Structure 1
Amino acid sequence: MRVILTGGSGFLGQALTRRLLAQGAQVAWLSHRPAAVGQGAPAGVSVRGYADLQPDEAWDAVVNLAGAPIADRRWSDARKQLLLDSRLHPTQALLDWLLVARRKPRVLLSGSATGWYGNQGDAVLDEDSGFHDEFAHQLCARWERLAWRAQMDAGVPVVLLRTGVVLHPSGGMLARLSLPFRLGLGGRLGSGTQYMSWIALDDWVRAVGWLLQAHLGGSVGKAWSGPVNLTALQPVTNAEFTRAYAASLKRPAVLAVPAPVLRWGLGEMATLLLDGQRVVPRRLEAAGFSFRHATLEQALRQTE
């Protein structure tokens, strides 16, 4: 299996790369800074610039994960533009190559997020649900529309990975929360009733590999296109997550951060913390994908 990957140096990209290499796949990372990124790439991974892609190259699959982190800082106008550009520019570069490639990859798995659905309270949302129009939706929707052109214009099946909050102590949200919770300073955000759709890192990597195999001749059944929710079966509220994470660290979590304080400190970005989506992985579940970390408590016990 030959896989080309954007965003390979990120939290998700590194985890997926490790799994692919362990399975004997040939992996290449694409980057706008190949010299710098190449210094930290695992052995066996080639790192190239987008402009290096040639029409006569043959890759079995493309996984497109490039994009600046959405929750790292306030959403100024400049930050919003960066979030958009960091997703659209790599995707456009891939599309340009796919349009002229003489041997098309068999699938493009392209990143997205459960933010596509926007804030819809406690409504249960699957891949057929609609959306609430807000910045997170607009960001995901523009990214998805551009990626979808690979199927419409280049004939390459596209799977849109609507990923929830990915949990593992080595990175992502848990890495940011570890210190305050270990100091006993963790607490619910706002009312704590907002839902969080999460997935264990191991299950996210396994699900992506499962989707790849569906297109590359594996035994998992029909190849898909369109959106797939990469979330666990049981979304939790912020209050439930706070209690479970504190308990996993054997620390108290009695504090609360009032919603007005978050809005004052984070501006519009506070919606990521105070609003939520109750998203379920209907397509994965219906197709028989098996989650190893079905409960939040199991996910919080991950060490590998």
Structure 2
Amino acid sequence: MSDLYLKCQLSDSKDCPPLPHQPIEQLLPTRNATLGDNLMIRRALPHRQRRMIGAWCFIDHFGPLNLNQSKGMNVGPHPHIGLQTVTWLIEGKITHRDSLGSEQIINPGQLNLMTAGNGIVHSEESIIDTHKTLHGAQLWLALPDMVRQMDPGFAHYEFLPVMEHDGITITVLAGELFGKVAPTNTYSPTMALDIRTVAAAKTILPLNPDFEYGVLVLKESAIIENSIIDINNLLYLGYGRDKLSINLPQNAHLLILGGEPFKEEVLIWWNFVARTEAEIKEAAENWQTFKYFGEIPGNLIPRMNAPDLPAAHFK
């Protein structure tokens, strides 16, 4: 998905307040907006107090959107560099198309992983059929410098490891838990779990103390360690934890995201994850002048224009 906010600010991973390298509980309110045809977006990262969690550099929670009262999601062709996009659906169907010629319908319980590398263009359209609600999350992983100029790629994962533990259904989206390893190919030490309940449940999950972690609620609420969170907050948990206490009501749903702290400085503007302002400016100019980036075969949706570059950074 594109960054659909029209006034994109430059995000620098080194400009948020430093925190001790130890377990903490930092509650970060999401930045919310209604975009397009009544699509609610809750932006959790980047946040002015926390730019990244491991390699995770962008987290949007979208929906739920009633497709009987809306045209759904129609995100026209737009470019990306320097990242991987992870699309995870709770409800609905989305068709992904890209400049590699990929065309893939994603359903709930499946995962799309697009590696932008040195440049890719894609579009996303919701499908209105038997699915009457659109609800999901769009996540970005910053690519390390050693691979961020790699050729782009796309992968669809129809089957992911799923387990039942203490009355909780856990899907491993990336990384490993209880010996179950996700097939997703990422380029930094990373973990992502989808956690759901039918009845109220509580448990303690093992964590990697070398990772930093965050928790995003997608439905209902949760008690994580000593913090109560809901869909309007991201809970940043810091470093150094080897376990995590979780207490959930019935029908709860959340994501746990973690990873080894990302050592490189990362700049994000619009759909570009870069290292310098000059690199971002060049990518934006290439997109606006129809240079470098490819086209999506058979595309019929209007191409997105890049927002204006913020004058404070790009002169």
* TM-score range normalised by the length of the shorter chain: under 0.3
Larger proportion of helix: 1
Between 1 and 2, higher relative CO (CA 8 Å, sep ≥ 6) is seen in 2
Q: TM-score, normalised by structure 1?
A: 0.25
Give the alignment's TM-score, normalised by structure 2: 0.24
